[in-house]
Copies of this chain bind each other. A is one copy, B any other.
Amino acid sequence: MFIIDSIDRIARISLDRPQARNAIAIQHWTMLSAAIAQVAASDAHVLIVRSMAPNIFCSGADIGDLEALGTDPAMRTRFRTEMAAAFDALARLPIATIAAIEGGCYGAGVALALACDIRIAGPKASFGITPAKVGIVYPAGDVARLKALVGPGQAARLLTTGMTIDADQALAIGLVEERSAAADQGALDLAATIAANSRSSVAGLKRILAADPAADALFEDAFGGHDFLEGVAAFRERRRPVFGG
A residues adjacent to B (C-beta < 8 A)? 63, 66-67, 69-70, 73, 76-77, 80, 96, 117-119, 131-140, 143-144, 147-157, 159-163, 173-174, 176-178, 190, 193-194, 197-198, 200-202, 204-206, 208-209, 211, 215-216, 218-220, 222-232, 234-235, 241, 243
Beyond the given A131-B201, A134-B198, A173-B177, could you list 10 further A-B residue pairs with CB under 8 A, ordered by the A residue number? Answer: A63-B235, A70-B232, A73-B224, A96-B160, A117-B160, A134-B234, A134-B235, A136-B198, A137-B219, A140-B211
- In the A-B complex, the 9 residue pairs with the smallest Cβ-Cβ separation, listed nearest first, are A135-B227, A134-B231, A140-B215, A132-B201, A135-B228, A135-B231, A132-B197, A117-B156, A69-B223
Contact of A241 with B134 in the complex, beta carbons under 8 Å: yes
Measured between beta carbons, the chain B residues less than 8 angstroms from A150 are 151
Contact of A80 with B216 in the complex, beta carbons under 8 Å: yes
Contact of A156 with B228 in the complex, beta carbons under 8 Å: no
A236 to B: closest C-beta gap in Å:
8
Contact of A118 with B148 in the complex, beta carbons under 8 Å: no
Q: Give Cα A5 to B218, complex, Å.
A: 37
Q: Give Cα A149 to B173, complex, Å.
A: 11
Q: Pick the residue among B77, B138, B174, B200 that contacts A154 (CB under 8 A).
A: B174
A142 to B: closest C-beta gap in Å:
9
Measured between beta carbons, the chain B residues less than 8 angstroms from A134 are 198, 201, 227-228, 231-232, 234-235, 241
Contact of B131 with A205 in the complex, beta carbons under 8 Å: yes
Contact of B174 with A151 in the complex, beta carbons under 8 Å: yes
A69 to B: closest C-beta gap in Å:
4
Measured between beta carbons, the chain B residues less than 8 angstroms from A140 are 208, 211, 215-216, 219
Q: Pick the residue among B69, B73, B194, B223 that contacts A160 (CB under 8 A).
A: B194
Q: Give Cα A229 to B69, complex, Å.
A: 10
Contact of A148 with B137 in the complex, beta carbons under 8 Å: no
A139 to B: closest C-beta gap in Å:
6
Q: Give Cα A190 to B119, complex, Å.
A: 27
Q: Give Cα A201 to B160, complex, Å.
A: 8
Which B residue's beta carbon lies closest to that of A71? Answer: B224
Contact of A197 with B162 in the complex, beta carbons under 8 Å: yes
Known contacts A66-B232, A232-B70; A76/B197 CB under 8 A:
no
